[in-house]
Amino acid sequence: MTAPPKRSSSERTVSWDTKIPRSATQLHEALREIPEIRMTNKCECLAICGLPRSGTTWIHNSLIACERYSGIPADDLAILNSASVFATDENRLLHKLMFSIERVGDKKINFLARRSTELFIAIFKLRWRSKDVMLKSPYFCFFLDNLYNLGVFRKFIFMKRNLDAVSVSMMRHPHIKTLLRSDYSSFFDFSSPEKNLEVEYVPAEVLTYVMHNFDKMTEFERALFKCLCFSSSFVARAQKLPHTSIFIVNYDTFLDDDERRRALFDFVVLDESGRQSIESSYVRQLPIATLPPHSEMLRNEILEITHRLWRTLDLHAARSRSVRPSQAAD
């Protein structure tokens, strides 16, 4: 019998990318089939997250376009539930694995979820044969500390933007629009009977109000609340990370704040052509002329809390401004 021809590692990776392990046996089989995966954990990744519709897609695609990082170009309208590792920048399988790490108390399942996540990222890096790769998802806000603890992600960019503009944009997005129009039980992507990851760090008084008045809230108010969920989780989890691993980008002031823009370029170690490429790709957004129907009291409360959270985040991350480019590359 003629032995089947040996496939290259990239061919094996592409054919295997829908078989994320469900058991310890499958983990061992994966490692045997793609032995190069054992070497990829020596590499590090950049993770981009932030509020939905805040500019994560722009910074992600810009860093790919200038060839600083390898990654999957972001598509805001991509189908997020694809089984393929390489189908979209926001892969729901990775989200589910990270959610399992967060919510499951069973040590065996937790171990399998962690190892599967590590394997997922290793396959992703092996796909490009690149030292510097990048993953992007606003939902990383809910897994920030666990992503860091995997030992693969060592740099994180958090995008923030005017909350009114973000909320209006969320109302137009196919997936988020569906959430905003649902009832409270279907409003969250990462909620289970054991744990609602999205509201874990939301102030109790706001959460109580929303739970009691959700049916009366407009889509714009629900979008504002969704922004608070992302911000509160990221800020709480960011406190557990070294300040030098996080960089905050304000989309609205990107071209106006020369110091912060230069600091961002140092953080991701961009050369001059890369800096010019990102600056030229930036599109300034016009302010929202008229806001959708909403309660001014609720809006002001969420804006105040979120801006307070962001100030805490800025204080935590501000020390990274003094990090030299050589340090940022470590």
DSSP notation for 238-285: HTTS-GGGEEEEEGGGTTT-HHHHHHHHHHTT--HHHHHHHHHH--PP
Rounded Cα gap, residues 221 and 219, in angstroms = 5
The reported pLDDT for the residue numbered 106 is: 61
Q: What is the domain partition of the chain in residue ranges?
A: 18-328
Distance CA 149, CA 129 (A): 23
Name beta bridge partners: 155. 46
pLDDT for the residue 327: 40
Edge to edge, the sheet with strand 153-160 lists 132-136, 44-50, 153-160, 246-250
Q: Which pLDDT belongs to residue 329?
A: 33
Task: Please report, in tens digits, the pLDDT of each residue of the chain (330 residues total).
Answer: 444 444 444 443 333 344 445 555 565 565 565 555 555 545 568 999 999 999 999 999 999 999 888 888 877 655 544 445 555 556 666 787 788 777 666 666 667 777 777 777 777 777 776 668 888 999 999 999 988 887 778 899 999 999 999 999 999 999 999 999 999 999 999 998 888 999 999 999 999 999 999 999 999 999 999 999 999 999 999 999 999 999 999 999 999 999 999 999 999 999 999 999 999 999 988 888 899 999 999 999 999 999 999 998 877 666 544 444 334 333
Q: What is the pLDDT of residue 197?
A: 92
Position 193 scores a pLDDT of 83
Question: What element of type H or E holds 6?
Answer: none
DSSP H or E segment with residue 25: helix 24-33
| pTM for the full predicted model | 0.82
Which pLDDT does position 130 carry in this prediction? 63
Q: How far is CA 102 from CA 145, 298, 330, in A?
A: 10, 30, 28
Short-list 258, 237, 240, 243, CA closest to 323: 243
- How far is the CA of 324 from the CAs of 5, 154, 265, 266, 328, in angstroms? 49, 16, 11, 7, 6
Residue 105 has phi, psi (to 5 degrees) of -85, -20
Note the pLDDT of residue 3: 45
Beta-carbon count within 10 A of 63 CB:
25
CATH numeric code, 18-328: 3.40.50
pLDDT at residue 172, as a whole number: 94
